[in-house]
Chain A
Amino acid sequence: MTHKTGLPVVAVLGNPNSGKSSLFNYLTGMRQDVSNFPGVTVDKKNASMVLPSGKSIQIIDFPGTYSVFPNSAEEKLVINTITNPSDPNFPDAVLYVADVTQLDRHLLFATQIRDLGFPMVLILNMVDIAETSGIKINQEVLENYLGCKVILTSVRTEKGMNEIMPALDIMLANNMRPDHTLYQLSDKENTVAAAVAAMLETTNLYRAKLIAHHVEWLSYLSPTQKDAIIKINKAEDFNDIRYQVLETMNRFGHHSPIVNKTTAKCPTSGKTWTDKIDNWITHKIWGPIIFFTIMLIVFQSIYSWAELPMEWIEQGFAMAGSFLNDHLQDSWWSDLLINGVLAGLGGVLVFVPQITILFLLIALLEESGYMSRVVYMFDSIMQHLGMNGRSMVSLISSGACAIPAIMATRTISNQKERLITILVSPLISCSARLPVYAVLIGFVVPDVKIWNVINLQGLAFMGLYLLGIIGVIVSSLFFKTILKSESTSYLMIELPNYKPPIWKNVFLLVKEKVLSFIIGAGKIILLISMILWFLASYGPGEKMQQSVVSAEKYSIENGLNDDEKSHLIASYKLESSYIGHLGKFIEPAIKPLGFDWKIGIALLTSFAAREVFVGTMATIYSVGNDSDEMTIRQKMTAEMRPGTNIKIYNPASALSLLVFYVFAMQCMSTLAITRKETNTWKWSIVQFSYMGILAYLGAFTVYHLLS
C-alpha cells in the first residue's frame, strides 16, 4: 500500500547495526505507521513529522543496507527505490546514519548515496561509545569532503538528537545537491552509463551505471528497456562484478584517509568486553551449552510469567460472555456475537501475554548482539539440513508462534534455504499446542514424580517438543534433496559489539510485533470462528429441531436440572449440525488413528487454530463453556465406544492424537503468512499436505504399536 502524501520524503538510510532504527524510533516515537513497500512484504515504517519551520515531511525508515550492490531481498528493495525517481517512496533527501566507531565501513554507502545526487545530512551515531573508547571526532573534515552537514549523536544518551530536525529544515530549504561526484567513472563505465542515461533520459550518470549493473532485477524497467540495456552491457563487455569491486575499492581508497583525519583513534589495547564475553559465549563447548541454557530459561519464563495474565484474559472474556448472555435477547445475532465473535477474539487475545514475553526476550537477544553468535555457531548444522545459520532465529521464534518465525526468514538471501525454513518452522511446537497437550497428556502419562523431583508429565511435554524437532530434521532433509537452488548461499555476518539495549526501542519493537500478530492472525481467526459458529449452529433439514426435542425428552425422563439440560441440548445440536455431519463424514478416514467422529469435529474446528480443540471438546461433551481442563478430561475418560466397554481415550488413542497435533498444520494464519511470504499458494498447499501426511502416518504408527 502506498500513499503519496505530497509531503517531501526523507529517507533514513544506513548500514545494519548503525543504530538507524533506534534513531528513527526516537525521532518518531509512537507516531509511526507500519505498512508494506509496494508488492513486497518488507515492512515500511514511516511517520509524518513537522519541522521547526512548520514544514511537514514524511520520514521513512529503510531496511539496513551495506552498499548499492545488494545481497538480500531487503537491500535490493532499497536500491530499487532510490534509483527510481517515479517511485512513490523515492526520497527528496536522505538522513544517513553511521556508527562513528565503524566510520570507514559505514561511509561507503553514504558516498554512494551522495553520488546519486541526494541532499543529505550525515549522523555520526554512538558518540558515547566512541568517547569511552577514546576516539576523537573532527567532523569538519568530513563536512568538507562530503559537502553536507554532519551531526554527532547518541540515541542512548540523547546527545545531539535535538539538532537533527533543524538540520533537516535547512537541508530541505536549500535543496543543496552535490555538484560533482566523489567517484570518477572509468572510461568503460562512462560509456555504458552515458548510453543508458541517454535511453532513460536521466542526467545522473552514476544512477545510470547502477541501473546497468542491476538491470536483471530492477522492477521498474520495462522489458524493452531491459533488452536494450543488456545489449549495451554486452556490446561494451561490461563485466558486472569486476566494476562493482573496482568501485568499492576506489571509494575506500579515497575516504579511508579522510576517516583517519576525522576520527583519531587511540591504539586499541588488549581485549575488549566483547572479546571477553565471546570467549565464553562462542566457545567450542561452552557456547552450545550456554545457548541451550538460555533457551530453557526463555521458554520457562514464557510459561511461568504468562500464566497469570492469560487467566485474567480468559476470565475477562468469560465474564463479558455471560454479561452479554444475560443482557441480550436470545437471537441468532447475539449467539453469533457471543459464541462466534467473542469466542474467536478470546482465542487470539489469550496468547498475547506469551507472545509479548517471547518477543521481548527475542528482541533482547537480538538487540544485545547474541542472535548473530547463534547464527555463527549453528550455521554448519543448519547447512546439513539445507538451511542457513540465520534459520536458527526463525526456529527459536517458532517456539512461540510460527507467524513471526516465518517473517524472520527475510534475512536469508538464498531462496532454497529460506523456503525450507518457512516450510519446517511450524513443526516446532508453538504456544497454541500447549492447551491441547495439557488436556491429552493426562491420558498417557500418570501425574507422578520420579525421585520426588522430576514431574513425569513435564518430561512428556519435553518429549513432544523433541518430537517436533525431530520432525524439523527429517522434513528439512527431505526438502533439501527435492528442492532446487538457484542463488548461492552465504554466511558472512557481522558479530556486533555487545551493547546494553535501548529500552524505548525494545518497547516499540515488541509493541509493533504484538500488534501485527493481533491484527494479522486476529482477522483470520475471527473469520474462521464465525464460519465454524455457523456450521455448528445450523444443520441440514429438520434434524436440529428434532435433536432439541429428543434432548428435552431425555432430560425430563432422567430428571436433569436446567444446567444439565441446556448442556445436553447443546451437545445434541452439535451432533446434528453441519459440522457434526462433517465429523461423521470423515470418521472412516480417522478411525485407523483411533479417533471417533467427536474428535473428528475437534480436528476440523482446530483448523482455525489448534487451541480451539479444548473449547470444541467442552461443547461436544456438553460441559459448558466455564469448565476447566480437568472436567473435560473426566468426561473424556468416561467416554466409551458405542455398544462396547472399550474406552475411546486410552493411552494408544490419546498418544496418537498428541502425535497428530505435534505434526499437523492446523493453523490458517500460518498458511496465510506462508502465502504472503512466498507470493504463491503453492507453498502453503505443500506445507499443509506434507505436515498432514506426517501427522497421519505418525498417529497411525503410534496407535497400532500401542493397541
Chain B
Amino acid sequence: MPKTLDSLQPGQSAYVSVLNENKFTCKLMNLGIMPKTKVTMVRKSPFGGAFYIKIDNIQMAMRESEANTIFIQDIV
C-alpha cells in the first residue's frame, strides 16, 4: 500500500507522489501541495484530528481526512 501524508510522524518529511482527485484537490494545489513538493509533518493538533504541515516557506493546517488523499514517497 502506498503511504499517505497522515502516516508521517512529527518531524518527518516526504515528497508528494499523487493527489487523490476530489472536490478539494484544486484547493490543496492552491495552498502549494503539488506532485513532487516536499512536505514536512511538523506537529499534530492539541486535540487531535488535524496536522500542522510545512511546505518550503508555507505553513498550513489540514485534517486527517484531507491528508490521506495525498500520497507520498521517499520519506526522510
Contacts and interface: CB of A to CB of B under 8 A. Distances in A.
Interface of A: 15, 66-67, 69, 71, 101-102, 104-105, 108, 133, 241-242, 244-245, 248-249, 252, 268, 272, 274-275, 278, 282-285, 287-288, 372, 375-381, 383, 389, 488, 490-497
14 contacts: A15-B30, A66-B30, A67-B30, A71-B27, A102-B32, A241-B26, A248-B29, A249-B34, A282-B45, A375-B61, A376-B50, A381-B47, A491-B62, A495-B52
B73 interface: no
The 10 closest A-B pairs by CB, nearest first: A380-B49, A376-B61, A66-B30, A495-B59, A69-B26, A491-B63, A380-B47, A284-B46, A379-B50, A248-B29
Contact of A377 (B24, B28, B47): B47
B74 interface: no
A244 B66 CA distance: 18
B43 A282 contact: yes
Given A288-B46, A493-B62, 19 more contacts: A105-B31, A105-B32, A105-B58, A108-B30, A241-B21, A245-B19, A248-B30, A282-B45, A282-B52, A283-B46, A284-B43, A380-B49, A380-B50, A488-B23, A491-B50, A491-B61, A491-B62, A492-B60, A497-B57
Contact of A245 (B25, B46, B50, B60): B25
Contact of A492 (B27, B34, B43, B56): B27
A278 B52 contact: yes
Interface in B1-57: 19, 21-32, 34-35, 42-50, 52, 54, 56-57
Interface of B: 19, 21-32, 34-35, 42-50, 52, 54, 56-63, 66
B56 A268 contact: yes
Interface centre among A284, A377, A488, A491 (most CB of B within 10 A): A491
A268 B60 contact: no
Nearest to A379: B50
A705 to B, nearest CB: 33
Contacts of A268: 56-57
Q: Which applies to chain B's interface (DSSP): helix, strand, loop or mixed?
A: mixed
B61 A241 contact: no
A252 B34 contact: yes
Nearest to B51: A376
A495 B61 contact: yes
Contacts of B24: 71, 488, 490, 492
Contacts of A285: 46
Contacts of B63: 379-380, 490-492
Contacts of A375: 61
Given A491-B63, A492-B62, A494-B60, A248 B26 contact: yes
B17 to A, nearest CB: 14
Contact of B31 (A133, A278, A287, A494): A494
Contacts of A71: 24, 27
Interface centre among B21, B44, B45 (most CB of A within 10 A): B45
Contacts of B26: 67, 69, 241, 244-245, 248
A133 to B, nearest CB: 8
A380 B48 contact: yes
A62 to B, nearest CB: 16
Q: Which applies to chain A's interface (DSSP): helix, strand, loop or mixed?
A: helix
Contacts of B44: 284
B50 A389 contact: yes
B68 to A, nearest CB: 13
A203 to B, nearest CB: 26
A383 B66 contact: no
Contacts of B22: 241
B56 A491 contact: no
A592 B70 CA distance: 59
Contacts of A15: 30
A249 B26 CA distance: 9
Contacts of A493: 60-62
Contacts of B35: 249
Contacts of B61: 372, 375-376, 379, 389, 491-493, 495
B55 to A, nearest CB: 10
Nearest to A287: B46
A495 B31 CA distance: 10
B49 to A, nearest CB: 3
Contacts of A497: 57, 59
Nearest to B66: A492
A492 B48 CA distance: 15
Contacts of B58: 102, 105, 494
A101 B57 contact: yes
A278 B21 contact: no
B59 A491 contact: no
B59 A66 contact: no
A274 B56 CA distance: 13
B47 A378 contact: yes
A497 B66 CA distance: 22
Nearest to A69: B26
Interface centre among B26, B28, B60 (most CB of A within 10 A): B26
Contacts of A372: 61
Contact of B66 (A104, A376, A377, A491): A491
Contacts of B62: 491-493
Contacts of A66: 27, 30-31
A315 B42 CA distance: 54
Given A278-B52, A490-B66, A272 B27 contact: no
B39 to A, nearest CB: 13
Contacts of B32: 102, 104-105
A492 B28 contact: yes
A103 to B, nearest CB: 11
Contacts of A133: 57
Nearest to A381: B47
B23 A241 contact: yes
A244 B31 CA distance: 15
Nearest to B54: A275
Contacts of B50: 376, 379-380, 389, 491
Nearest to A291: B46
Nearest to B64: A380
Nearest to B59: A495
Contacts of B43: 282-284
A526 B66 CA distance: 48
Nearest to A65: B30
Nearest to A288: B46
